[in-house]
A and B are shown apart, each in its own frame.
Chain A
């Protein structure tokens, strides 16, 4: 059995460690590129949401590397992610592409459903599986600690690109690391190197919050490197979506004392109910960012994303109440770099003008 999985930003490092810990041979799909997207788009239903299309591209690219089994997440409603696997299975079948699919999702009938799937997958004793899981968790924390530094330091560096070069190198080191101690060292050393880089300014020009659907926020290929673009403009990006926090909120049910979204407290009265995906969180995070005094918020979503359309629809009320400007960007295979850059620059100019007015 050679297992593969869908890509989402740096999540591959974590999934790879977890699956390898089960004693499985893991085929990491080639990194997402425009080609991955194009392959997926060609086969997927035209109006399916973007993550489904890119994932399909990942599966097809991993197939040519010899993968025969897909491990992925699912769901039981209300959003489309819960039916991704079924659609992808039928598409692969119609294409004559042979894959076994193992979908990890909340049980529909019996609690044992998830357990049975894990048991079927594992090739090593539970003790080893648990060790792998814990290592994967530490890697998630390491990746996120780095991401946060990168977001804060990009706008300051004198020569754009150096922070990112260190970041890329560190991700590969994290991938190879085998213990918590090693991970600590990698993070410590990388951060020290980043901090020591020459700077062109001591404070970011603006601070912008990023909210939205998790895939478009975390996968740079589909958001066309949004965070890097903003960083190069001197903007510090702030977000609350991190994979370690997602794991804590969703798999550990928030047991660990990590920051969380608290949409139920922050989103009302603007949005008073969960709406699937991250819609509620997008609104709650925007309110939190307003309170933190950020200069603006960018909401990201795949075109036709239902929860984010709801969030987008109530954003005018949030803006009116908090005074915080929000720009919503829908992404799909048609989104071009030039158009995106223009919108970012216009938003930047507007925020800077507002800030100037505020600070006199």
Chain B
């Protein structure tokens, strides 16, 4: 295995948008060739839609598409079983079954590295076990793994920091040059969601939702750029300090046990406290389980505060024209409400 480089496929979907720098750095440090699927396009979406059950949410279907795209070109696929990435919190039941779902649908399917990532009880131990398992699957143990992990962690933290300042976009600008060849150049710098201050007088709008929707420009239809063109200035959950989000969530009568739900709820709760925020847009996938409750709660709180709230639900049939119309109507309404 160590003579010829192992080709490992990393689907550019779902949690790639949260952990890409970590995963890529780690695998590369172990001498694995990482192949990332190209940014979502029509072909990948159609592939995913044809393979997944109709009732699945769009992000999961998209994941099927990326996996199928990679299946013929790699030796193994990395599809971690993401149970929990922090104490007492979960992500989504669907991600707990994802590797099995893919095995049942993608034919032929290369072996899947389906490391369980479960930090729900003991985060440190959970993470250590996951790292050990990942490395063990490609035949590594001990010191090398440790240094790979450190390198991954460092790159990840640096990326998080840049993201908070509005400089990095859903991992795309950090995608390694070695991997996926053409795929990288397609994304590159122009993909940045630039949330740096725009011209004076622009309306500040919060855009909340899962990173794998917002930062996938095909899925989100580039809503951030659209809002900007309509004179808005976007704030994303990733731009807010994590402790501010956690603090805002503490006002809920019951702790929210979904990691992504916390991000959405906490962002909305802290944004509606800021007088400079004119309105909030929630981008969600049709049929998303956690969002159906969290989004409703967020909207209720926003409404009680009098902050305009736009819910944009997307699936594979969503047309760009419809989204544009709704965005325009929303943006048009803001200044009037805002100055009133």
Contacts and interface: CB of A to CB of B under 8 A. Distances in A.
A38 to B, nearest CB: 19
Contact of B97 (A90, A279, A316): A279
Interface stretch (B23-31, B85-93, B176-184, B196-204): B85-93
A313 interface: yes
Contact of B289 (A49, A86, A316): A49
Contact of B93 (A87, A279, A315, A330): A279
B31 to A, nearest CB: 28
A178 to B, nearest CB: 37
Tell me which of A47, A82, A86, A279 has the highest count of chain B C-beta atoms within 10 A of its own C-beta. Answer: A47
Interface residues of B, number: 44
A125 B109 CA distance: 61
B329 interface: no
A306 interface: yes
Contacts of A45: 292-293, 295-296
Interface string B73-110: 00000000101000011111110110111011100000
A123 interface: no
Given A48-B293, A304-B55, A309-B56, A78 B96 contact: yes
A303 B57 CA distance: 11
A85 B101 CA distance: 30
A283 to B, nearest CB: 9
B306 interface: no
B96 A309 contact: no
Q: Which of A45, A94, A309, A330 has the most B CB atoms < 10 Å from its CB?
A: A309
A134 B289 CA distance: 36
B286 A86 contact: no
Most interface-central of A46, A79, A108, A303 (chain B CB within 10 A)? A79
Contacts of A115: none
A273 B94 contact: no
A48 to B, nearest CB: 5
B192 to A, nearest CB: 32
Interface in B165-221: none
B288 A276 contact: no
Interface in A99-116: 108
A51 to B, nearest CB: 12
Contact of A276 (B56, B93, B99, B313): B93
A78 B257 contact: yes
Contacts of B94: 275, 306, 309-310
A96 interface: no
Interface in A64-98: 76-80, 82-87, 89-90, 94
Contacts of B291: 47
B289 A310 contact: no
Nearest to B101: A313
Interface string B261-304: 00000000000000000000000001111111111110010000
Q: Which 3 A-B pairs have the closest CB atoms?
A: A310-B97, A78-B90, A276-B93
23 contacts: A48-B293, A49-B289, A77-B257, A83-B256, A83-B257, A83-B293, A86-B252, A108-B88, A270-B100, A273-B83, A273-B96, A273-B116, A276-B90, A279-B93, A305-B289, A306-B92, A307-B97, A310-B94, A310-B101, A313-B52, A313-B97, A313-B101, A314-B101
Given A78-B96, A276-B96, A313-B104, 11 more contacts: A48-B293, A77-B88, A86-B297, A87-B293, A272-B100, A276-B90, A307-B93, A309-B56, A310-B97, A313-B105, A314-B104
Interface of B: 52-53, 55-56, 81, 83, 88-94, 96-97, 99-101, 103-105, 114, 116, 252-258, 286-297, 300, 313
